Amino acid sequence: MSSREHILSRIKKHKPQLIELPDLSVFAHEINTEKLVNDFINTSTTNASTVVNMIGQSINFDTYIPLFIAENFGDNAITYTPLNSSNKEILDFKSNHIDVFVTQPQIAVAENGCMWIHDKQMQQRIAAFASEHTLFIVDHKTIVPTMHQAYKALQINAHGYGVFIAGPSKTADIEQSLVIGAQGAVSNTVILV
């Protein structure tokens, strides 16, 4: 018996027992939409996001979003959004400063206030991170209780890139001083519809 065969036979002989995967049914929740919305609002606010609850209101987004941006970020705010057809050109983020990035996440998570956006919702991966402010339009019907349900609902392989975003950029140095906006958006606004 060669040394290779000897080593492999010893490994096979001392193989650990198979351990079953945990039962994830403990994470199954009965879905209470009102509680999910309230939990999402609370965790998003804790993450330093601003939440505007527009559930049940009739909104014309073609007029509401530009007015909202003008009121909150100034009349001259440069906006980038893949949502409207007039903004389909590919922007050069090296030479164009983007004030506000607007998109509609595919899914939102109540337990931590994060939202999933993929490359089709960004057009450019840098869009959500190079903008001063992010504005997410969240359909309250897309809120799930936990990350377990989020991953179960998503088709991760359907897109080339995707990311969960929870609030504006946050970082802390050695002195544990929290800095918002150092590595991404300074503010994050969620409009719940």
50 assigned to some structural domain? yes
Instruction: Say which residue, 23 or 153, is predicted with more confidence.
Output: 153
Summarize pLDDT for 87-131 with one digit per residue, the tens.
444 455 555 677 888 888 999 999 999 999 988 877 777 778 878
DSSP string, 63-81: HHHHHHHHHHH-TT--EE-
Backbone phi and psi for residue 17, each to the nearest 5 degrees, phi listed first: -70, 150
Query: How much of the chain, in percent, has pLDDT values that exceed 70?
Result: 89
Q: Who contacts 22 (Cβ-Cβ below 8 Å, separation ≥6)?
A: none
| Mean pLDDT, residues 129-146 taken together | 90
CATH number where 174 lies: 3.40.50.10420
Per DSSP, the residues of 144-178 read: ESSHHHHHHH--GGGSS-EEEE-SS-EEE-TT--E
Instruction: For residue 63, tell me if it sits in a domain.
Output: yes
Q: Which residue has the higher pLDDT, 65 or 169?
A: 65
- Quick check: is 122 in a domain? yes
pTM score, whole prediction: 0.76
Number of domains making up the chain: 1
How far is the C-alpha of 147 from the C-alpha of 132, rounded, in Å?
27
Whether 16 is in a domain gets the answer no
Domain around 151: 31-192
Average pLDDT, the chain: 83
